[in-house]
Amino acid sequence: MIELALHILDIAENSLRAEATLVEISVIEDLVRDRLSITISDNGHGMTPEEVERAMDPFYTTKKVRRIGLGLPMLSQACQSTGGSFAINSEPGVGTRITAEFVHSHIDRQPLGDVPGAVIALILEKPEVDILYTHRRDESLYTMDTREIRAQLDDIPLNHHEVINLIRENIAEGLSELGVH
């Protein structure tokens, strides 16, 4: 994958397949420590220790459309190539948490990419699932929570084209205010 937003989308889609009702995406840019951390947590089915181990095997996948599961191994490799770290914590019946940490300034770190597009794709795929997206850059914070948006909409669906456009614009503006390009 050429950008981190595609990794975020891939992992969050795994959360949707695990029947999560809440997916939390956190991006933390700590420029003082020169770290970029991405955490995706869900309240889906979760995995056993054996399933976690298999998830890191590029020749194993639960997806029906392709026979290899490169997403997690590729993200792990992307972290390690910058001197970062990668971890999966999961418990059956509780959910899964994936943490990817990169050296922010490392020449091999992939660009963040189109995070607003990734979040919008998740909302369009399963509008009934709640998404909490937070992005911290040093001391500044942006938050988008579909539960708060849904509470304002009355009967308008979250995947209505005008709502989607507003969410996309809000995320893009929030990231711009943080100085994220």
Cβ contact 147:39 at 8 Å: no
Complete DSSP assignment for 80-148: HTTT-EEEEEEETTTEEEEEEEEETT-TTPPP---HHHHHHHHHHH-TTSEEEEEEEETTEEEEEEHHH
In the structure encoding, which two tokens stand for residue 103, read together?
């050296």
Q: Please report, for the chain, how many H helices and E strands are present, in that order.
A: 6, 6
How many domains is the chain built from? 1
Q: Is the pTM of this model over 0.85?
A: yes
Residue 68 confidence (pLDDT): 40
For 23, 54, 79, the CA distances from 30, given in Å and listed in that order, are 23, 32, 16
Position 17 scores a pLDDT of 93
Q: Looking at per-residue confidence, does 116 or 65 come out higher? A: 116
Report pLDDT for 181.
Answer: 74
Q: What is the mean pLDDT of residues 112-125?
A: 95
The model's pLDDT over 22-75, given as tens digits with 9 standing for 90+, comes to 999 999 999 999 999 999 999 999 999 988 888 887 665 555 554 444 689 999
**Averaged pLDDT, 73-99:** 96
pLDDT digits (tens, 9 = 90+) for 122-180: 999 999 999 999 999 999 999 999 999 999 998 899 999 999 999 999 999 999 999 99
Residue-number span of the structural domain to which 71 is assigned: 4-178
Q: What token pair was written down for 70?
A: 């490169």
CATH number at residue 135: 3.30.565.10
- Residue 71's pLDDT is 82
